[in-house]
């Protein structure tokens, strides 16, 4: 796919994962191009990402004071998060990404998911310098399809059965996702036949966030999707449809997850469904 608009020009290739990885990985993608804005903000979406930089240095912005620009020039892992992540790509981008499903971290990373939640880490911090061998091989490979295959093989080799997600965590996450975060945590625990505390601990360990945090993130994601389909913004109706108690509840969650009110967010350009432009 070629995107050529006021936001920039780039090429994006998307790959569905092979069957053995599909339960853990939602998609692989390769993007190359140049954006016409200075900074974007990646919003929480209920998943995690492995990002492999094959081009110019990019930057992650840490809010201050003082604000910090952290260089990204190899491989980073972004765990499931509840706050937005700001990035800058001043010299263009050549990036390969793997988007993991909610329970897709532990089987290949071999650490509890909450260790990486709300964190963006160089993969070498988690796996050592051996992780850089994968990036070097990708740099030496000219074919996008072969690059996807190499990443899939690397992930397959890292899977360990003892880190598989439990039935409880898979079931609870599916209930939260299918209800768009509008399910009750107490009802989930009752249906599972466990305490609310046990459910929360299991989800934090295997998914990355506890029960309440997961429902909030998925409710926010649903509200964003619904908002994108509206020509007119009926705030009260939006709050009720997405499971918020009232409009003030909706606004608080938008502030938490995007750093903006809903009204401010809808005025931002959106390069894709999961990000907004914050500095043109």
What residue ranges do the domains of the chain occupy?
2-163
What does the pLDDT average to over 15-23? 97
What does the pLDDT average to over 25-48? 97
Question: At 149, is the pLDDT very low, low, confident or very high (cuts 50, 70, 90)?
Answer: very high
In the predicted structure, residue 230 carries a pLDDT above the cut 80 = no
In the predicted structure, residue 36 carries a pLDDT above the cut 90 = yes
Counting residues of the chain whose pLDDT is more than 70, the rounded percentage is: 99
- Of the candidate ranges 51-60, 107-116, 193-202, 264-273, the one whose mean pLDDT is the lowest: 264-273
**Distance (Å, rounded) from C-alpha 77 to C-alpha 126?**
9
What does the pLDDT average to over 62-80? 94
Residue 237 confidence (pLDDT): 86
Provide the mean pLDDT of the chain: 95
85 is written with which tokens?
A: 């992540």
Residue 100 confidence (pLDDT): 98
In the predicted structure, residue 229 carries a pLDDT above the cut 90 = no
In the predicted structure, residue 232 carries a pLDDT above the cut 90 = no
- According to CATH, the topology of domain 2-163 is Jelly Rolls (2.60.120)
92: CB partners within 8 A, 6+ apart: 32, 33, 34, 55, 56
What does the pLDDT average to over 51-72? 95
Residue 198 confidence (pLDDT): 98
Alpha helices in the chain (DSSP H): 106-109, 123-127, 131-139, 144-158, 167-178, 185-192, 196-206, 211-228, 235-241, 247-258, 262-266
Residue 231 confidence (pLDDT): 63
**Distance (Å, rounded) from C-alpha 221 to C-alpha 223?**
5
In the predicted structure, residue 177 carries a pLDDT above the cut 90 = yes
Residue 236 confidence (pLDDT): 86
Residue 67 confidence (pLDDT): 93
What does the pLDDT average to over 266-274? 91
Residue 238 confidence (pLDDT): 86
What does the pLDDT average to over 111-140? 96
3-state secondary structure of 153: helix
Residue 60 confidence (pLDDT): 97
Tell me: the pLDDT tens digits for 194-222? 999 999 999 999 999 999 999 999 999 99
User: Terminal CA-to-CA distance of the chain, rounded, Å?
Assistant: 23
What does the pLDDT average to over 165-180? 97
What does the pLDDT average to over 55-81? 95
């Amino acid at each position: 796919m070629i995107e050529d608009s006021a936001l920039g020009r780039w090429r994006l290739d998307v790959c569905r994962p092979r069957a053995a990885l599909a339960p853990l990985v939602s998609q692989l993608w390769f993007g190359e191009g140049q954006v016409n804005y200075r900074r974007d903000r990646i919003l929480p979406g209920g998943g995690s990402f492995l990002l492999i930089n094959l081009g110019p240095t990019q930057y992650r912005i840490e809010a201050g004071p003082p604000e910090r620009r952290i260089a990204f020039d190899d491989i980073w892992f972004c765990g499931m998060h509840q706050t937005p992540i700001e990035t800058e790509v001043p010299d263009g981008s050549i990036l390969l990404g793997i988007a993991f499903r909610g329970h897709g971290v532990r089987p290949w990373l071999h650490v509890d998911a909450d260790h990486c939640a709300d964190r963006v880490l160089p993969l070498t911090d988690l796996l050592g310098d051996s992780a850089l061998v994968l990036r070097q091989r990708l740099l030496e490979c000219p074919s996008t399809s072969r690059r996807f295959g190499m990443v899939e093989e690397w992930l397959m080799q890292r899977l360990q059965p003892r880190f598989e997600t439990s039935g409880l965590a898979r079931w609870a996450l599916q209930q939260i996702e299918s209800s768009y975060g509008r399910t009750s945590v107490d009802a989930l625990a009752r249906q599972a036949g466990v305490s609310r505390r046990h459910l929360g601990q299991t989800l934090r360990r295997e998914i990355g966030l506890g029960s309440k945090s997961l429902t909030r993130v998925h409710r926010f994601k649903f509200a964003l999707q619904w908002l994108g389909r509206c020509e007119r913004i009926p705030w009260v109706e939006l709050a009720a449809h997405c499971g918020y108690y009232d409009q003030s509840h909706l606004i608080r969650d938008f502030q938490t997850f995007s750093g903006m009110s809903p009204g401010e967010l809808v005025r931002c350009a959106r390069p894709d469904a999961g990000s907004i432009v914050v500095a043109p």
